[in-house]
Amino acid sequence: MSRGDMAKPLLGHGSTEGDPSVTPASGRTIGVLGSGDFARSLAIRLVCSGFKVVVGSRNPKRKASLFPSAAEVTFQAEAVKKTDIIFVAVFREHYSTLCDLADVLAGKILVDVSNNTEINHHKESNAEYLASLFPACTVVKGFNVVSAWTLQSGARDGNKQVLICSNNQEAKRTVAEIAQVMGFTPVDMGCMSSACEIENIPLRLLPAWKIPIFLALGLFLCFFTYNLIRQVIHPFIREQKNKLYKIPIEVVNTTLPCVSYVMLSLVYLPGVLAACSQLYYGTKYRRFPDWLDQWLQHRKQIGLLSFFCAALHAVYSLCLPMRRSHRYLLIETAVKQAMEKKMNIWVEEEVWRMEIYISVGIIALGLLSLLAITSLPSIANSLNWREFNFIQSSLGFIALVVSTLHTLTYGWSRAFDENQYKFYLPPTYTLTLLVPCTVIIAKVIFSLPCIRHRLLRIRRGWEKGRYVKFVLPSATGEYSSGETSSNV
C-alpha cells in the first residue's frame, strides 16, 4: 500500500453499515435498464429483497421469460416512468442510445453499474460520462464491484462490499439503503471524482500479490539456474553425462524448498529491520522507508507463497520414488552391490539423518499449514489479538527454526565435503541458510532482556532524547521557561 493509499481509510467514513438512521427501503419500485446477465441477477436479487422491479428492455416480449415472474418487463420508456431509481445495466458504448429517454429520465436517480475493459480506459469515468449525457438526472456510481454471480448467489458468498459515490448526498444515501436491504455493505467513497477509482477496482489483477509473486518467481529463477548448473551442466561438462532428465522433477524439487525457506525468512526479516530502526532512532513515531512499509504490508502473501512452495515440495518428494529413472538407478545399484557381493549396505548415520530430516520437514509443513489457515479472514476473525499474534508471530518463528533444522539435517556434513563444490559453487542449502539464520540470530538478540525491555518501552510510546517544554517559577516568583530531556 502506498502512502497515498494509506492516507485513506479502509472503509469510507460514510459507511452506512449499522447506521440506525438508515430506514429499510424494500417495497420501493426499482427500475433496471437492460436485460443482460447483470440486469437479470440484479432483478432476481431485488425481488428477493422485497423490492418491486420494473425492467426496461428494447425487446420486452423476448426477454420477459428470463426474469422472475414478480418483475415487470416492459419497454424502456414505460419502465422509466414507473420509478425514480433506475439501474443502468447497459455498456457505456450504448449509453448514447438511451438519449431518447432524456425527458422521462429527468429528475431521477441513475445508478451506473458499468465497468471498463482496461484500467483508465477513458478520460472520464463511465459515471461522469452518463452524467454528462443526462444533466437533468442524478448519477450514482455503484454495484460495479459486485458480479452477476455474486448478486445471484446471495450475501453469504462473494464480496459483500458495494462502493458508492455521487455528488448528491441524498441520492447516495438512497442507493446505500437499497444495497443494505439487498444484504450488501455500502461503502461511501465520496463524490463523483472517485468513480474512476471504483471502476478500476474490478480490473486490478491481484494488486496485493504482484510484489510477492515477482519475488517468488525471481527467487525461483535464481535457485533453479544455480541448481541446474550444479546438477545438470556440471556432470555434462566434467563427465560428459547427460542428466537432462533431472530438470522436470529433481531440479525443481531442490529449488522449491529453497524458495519456500527463504520466503519464510522474508516474512520475519522486515520485522527485524523495523525493530532495528526503532532501536536506532529510539522512537516508534518515525516513519519507516516506503520499501519497508510495502514489505511489512506484503508479509501475509509472502508467507502464503512460502507455504505453497513447501506444499509442492512435499508432493514432489513423495513422487520421487515413482519415477522410472529412480527405479533404474535403484536396480543398477542393487546389481552392482550383488556383483560386488556386498550384503550389508546399512549406514547407520545416513539412516538417522534421513529419519530426522523427514520428521522435521513434516513438522515444518504442519506449522506452515497452520499459519496459512489462520491467515484466512474467516479464521483470523475468530481469533483474538493474542491468539492471532501467538500463531503468526511465535509459531511462525518456530516454523522458521524447524525449517532451519530440516535444512541443516538435509545438508548434514556436505558443506565440508569438497566434492559438493561444483565449479567451486557451494551446495544450495548453504546459501539458503544465510537470511533465515540472520533472522533467527537477530530475534534471539532482541529477546535478551535489556534489548527486549527497551524495544517494549519504545513500542509503548517512549522516545529517546525527547525534549519537553517546562515552566519553572524563578526565585523572584516570576516564571521562566526552558527545555529538559524526558529521557528517563
CA distances from 363 to 90, 257, 265, 314, 455 (A): 54, 14, 17, 12, 31
Report helix, strand or coil for 322.
helix
> Which residue is it, cell 468513480?
195
Residue from 91, 308, 446, 462 binding ligand NAP (CB under 6 A): 91
Min dist CB 189 to ligand NAP, Å, is 16
Question: Which among 326, 333, 327, 328 is positioned nearest to 249, based on CA atoms?
Answer: 326
Min dist CB 267 to ligand NAP, Å, is 35
**What is the pattern of x (binds ligand NAP, CB under 6 A) and - over residues 52-71?**
-----xxx---x--------
Should residue 153 be labelled a site residue for ligand NAP when binding is judged by CB under 6 A?
no
70: Cα within 13 Å, side-chain hemisphere: 14
Residue from 71, 89, 228, 458 binding ligand NAP (CB under 6 A): 89
Residue from 15, 30, 38, 246 binding ligand NAP (CB under 6 A): 38
Residue from 29, 64, 78, 147 binding ligand NAP (CB under 6 A): 147
Min dist CB 111 to ligand NAP, Å, is 11
> Which residue is it, cell 526565585?
475
* Residue spans of beta strands (DSSP E) within 104-218: 109-112, 138-141, 161-166, 185-188
Nearest-CB residue for ligand NAP: 36
Min dist CB 1 to ligand NAP, Å, is 25
Alpha helices (H) in 390-448, listed in sequence order: 396-411, 428-432, 434-446
Should residue 125 be labelled a site residue for ligand NAP when binding is judged by CB under 6 A?
no
Grid cell digits, residue 342 = 556386498
Min dist CB 58 to ligand NAP, Å, is 4
Cα separation, 132 vs 155, in Å, equals 33
Q: Which amino acid is at 485?
A: S
Min dist CB 113 to ligand NAP, Å, is 5
Should residue 97 be labelled a site residue for ligand NAP when binding is judged by CB under 6 A?
yes
Q: Are 137 and 108 in contact (CB under 8 A)?
A: yes
Stretch that binds ligand NAP, among 34-42, 274-282, 295-303, 454-462 (CB under 6 A): 34-42
Cα separation, 436 vs 263, in Å, equals 9
Min dist CB 400 to ligand NAP, Å, is 42
State the residues that interact with ligand NAP by CB under 6 A: 34-39, 57-59, 63, 89-91, 94, 97, 113-115, 144, 147-148
